[in-house]
Amino acid sequence: MAAQSPVSRCSRHEGMFAFVCETCDDKLICMTCVTDDHNGHRLGDLNKFEEKHKRDIQQCVDKLSETDIPNVEEAIRKCDTKYGMYQKRIDAIKLQGKELKGSIDDVIDFMVTKCAEVENINTSISEGNKTALIEHLNTDLKPKLGRYQDILTSGTVEDITDIAREIRSASNVSSTSRSLKTVDFTPEKISTDRLAASLEVFW
């Protein structure tokens, strides 16, 4: 049973409240009121009236403590969770950026290694070219020059005829000068769009 409310009295007659006047919008009245202003009005039982309203209030208390307040507290907790979510995103972006930097370092290492390899290959090719050119100069061109100069100054007619024939047949053969080939590569341009796309975080 609900505890009894503290006693309060009618302000007009000083009597204890005895009924509720339903005709007068649930006004609390004393025994004297019944025969005075509220004569002939529809009266209600004060205890039942009090219990009914206490039940209504209790329902409100239950709703507040079991539903409304927990819901708001849960919403407050969710506010905290949402706030923390940005920290998660920031962490994810930083992590992805770190991985991306690592990948870029790998690409730099790869390209530097390739450059060194290309340099080695080209050094080797150039050394081969140089050796061949020196050999061509020393064993072919310079002796030929000496021989031709000698024949110009002291050659017989027979020598001159031979050399002229040699020069004619040599001119039919294409030039022996080597084409100096090397290998090369150019790094691709970096796309910042592609870098940014790599940083996109899905959550």
Q: Which is nearer to Zn ion, 36 or 66 (CB)?
A: 36
3-state secondary structure the chain: CCCCCCCCECCCCCCEEEEEECCCCCEEEEHHHHHCCCCCCCEEEHHHHHHHHHHHHHHHHHHHHHHHHHHHHHHHHHHHHHHHHHHHHHHHHHHHHHHHHHHHHHHHHHHHHHHHHHHHHHHHHHHHHHHHHHHHHHHHHHHHHHHHHHHHHHCCHHHHHHHHHHHHHHHHCCCCCCCCCCCCCCCCCCCHHHHHHHHCCCC
Whole-number Å distance between alpha carbons of 81 and 50:
45
Q: Pattern of binders to Zn ion over 106-145, x per CB under 5 A?
A: ----------------------------------------
Rule CB under 5 A: say whether 28 interacts with Zn ion.
no
Q: Which is nearer to Zn ion, 12 or 77 (CB)?
A: 12
Q: Which of 23, 58, 113, 149 binds Zn ion (CB under 5 A)?
A: 23
Question: How many residues touch Zn ion (CB under 5 A)?
Answer: 11
Q: Tell me the window of 9-17, 54-62, 70-78, 85-93 that interacts with Zn ion (CB under 5 A).
A: 9-17
Q: Which of 24, 118, 133, 163 binds Zn ion (CB under 5 A)?
A: 24
Half-sphere exposure of 169 (CA within 13 A, CB side): 5
Q: Which is nearer to Zn ion, 6 or 40 (CB)?
A: 40
Q: Which is nearer to Zn ion, 10 or 125 (CB)?
A: 10
Rule CB under 5 A: say whether 30 interacts with Zn ion.
yes
Is 28 in contact with 53 (CB distance < 8 Å)? no
Measure CA of the first residue to CA of the last residue in the chain; give whole Å.
55
Closest distance to Zn ion from the beta carbon of 7 (Å): 14
Q: Tell me the window of 32-40, 44-52, 63-71, 110-118 that interacts with Zn ion (CB under 5 A).
A: 32-40
Rule CB under 5 A: say whether 38 interacts with Zn ion.
yes
Rule CB under 5 A: say whether 33 interacts with Zn ion.
yes
Q: Which is nearer to Zn ion, 47 or 131 (CB)?
A: 47
Q: Which is nearer to Zn ion, 10 or 118 (CB)?
A: 10
- Which residues of this protein are in contact with Zn ion, per CB under 5 A? 10, 12-13, 21, 23-24, 30, 32-33, 38, 41
